[in-house]
Amino acid sequence: MTRLLLILVLAFSASAQAQTKIKFTLDWKFEGQTSFMWLGLQRGYFQKEGLDVQVDAGNGSTAAIQRIHTGAYDAGLGDTSALIEYYGNNAGDTRLQMVYLQYDEAPIAYYVMKKNNAKTIADLAGKSIAAAPFEVTRKMWPIFAHAAKIDPAATTFLSVDPSLRTNAVIKGDAFACGGFMNIPLEFAARGVSRDQITELRVSDVGVHVYGNGLMVSTKLIQENPQAVAGLVRALNRSFRESLADPDASIKALKAREPLSEEKVEMERYRLLFPAIMTSRVKENGLGAVDAATLAKQVDYVSESVKLKGKPNPDQLFNASFLPPKSERMLISK
């Protein structure tokens, strides 16, 4: 019996050692929209792929890209436009690729107080917008403004920390603020209900840009493609099941972050569903990008940010690790 126990212990130890360690950075804090990572870890999907994944909170897409670029992290979540900017300004020194798309539509919009009677993005002409310098709603404003047929230069920006942008709008220091489509929760935390604000979505002016996705270091892709394939499979499975059963996903987040409020995080997640479960995703499945759409986004970012070089869309997104379409379709409820 002792000999058998020793064999089992040694076998378990060898299995544990065989797991590939992955340092994974989120794009932001531990919140509802990334609860699928905790669901996957809780259900053992990453472990079954031979991966020991350490998930850390982030501080924005640019910071996540920098973490992977420096080699401090192996993978993480970040914005497609931020990745395009990284490629455009770091020719010959690009160290990461996107391998799976989370948001088929960038979940961004501008928000104004309803009493100000703004109906469309065109109504932001000549007004002020509160935003940090690094925010996509500020960097790509010229594209959104041109699509809305207004002069982007006529609008001014008030530089504020993202945590203060809704305060600026409520106090009247700025006419609008931009950000993810779960910003209404920030207004609600300050006593402003959903029916007191107006949402002006970027997609309403006909601009289709991809949002965040899974980015992986080219070092890991080259040295351990099996680990990358496993990471994508596990994340895809976790994401699909999270969308089908968000309650379980939020409970997994709660288990990891006891101070989180389940009701708030559920609403934070649900507000982003329209950018995830689009008609395109319902037809083609999660995770993939359309080459022509990505190429257009490269044009948008190049024009807005004035990049040093224009990246090749084929460099940005590596589709070779995507599971079959049948495994990426939304789960019927």
| pLDDT value at 70 more than 80 | yes
Q: According to the per-residue pLDDT averaged within each range, which of 56-60, 220-224, 299-303 is highest?
A: 220-224
pLDDT tens sequence across 128-180: 999 998 888 998 999 999 999 999 999 999 999 999 999 999 999 999 999 99
Give CATH for domain 22-104+210-327: 3.40.190.10
What b/e sequence results for 205-224 when a residue is b if at least 16 CB atoms lie within 10 Å of its CB, and e otherwise?
bebbbbbbbbbbbeebbeee
| pLDDT value at 3 more than 60 | no
**Which of these, 333, 183, 178, 155, lies nearest to 243 by C-alpha position?**
333
Predicted local confidence at residue 14, as pLDDT: 40
Give phi and psi for 162, each to the nearest 5: -50, -30
Q: For the chain, give every domain's residue range.
A: 22-104+210-327, 108-205
Predicted local confidence at residue 92, as pLDDT: 80
Element (H, E) at 40: helix 35-42
When pLDDT is averaged across residues 6-13 and rounded to a whole number, the result is 44
Beta-bridged to residue 25, according to DSSP, are 56, 76
Predicted local confidence at residue 191, as pLDDT: 97
Predicted local confidence at residue 120, as pLDDT: 95
CATH number for 108-205 (one of 3.40.50.300, 3.40.190.10, 3.30.420.40, 3.40.30.110): it is 3.40.190.10
Fold match, 22-104+210-327 / 108-205: yes
Q: What is the pTM of this model?
A: 0.91
Q: What is the distance between the alpha carbons of residues 112 and 227, in angstroms, rounded to a whole number? A: 45
CA angle 243/249/253 to nearest 5° reads 140
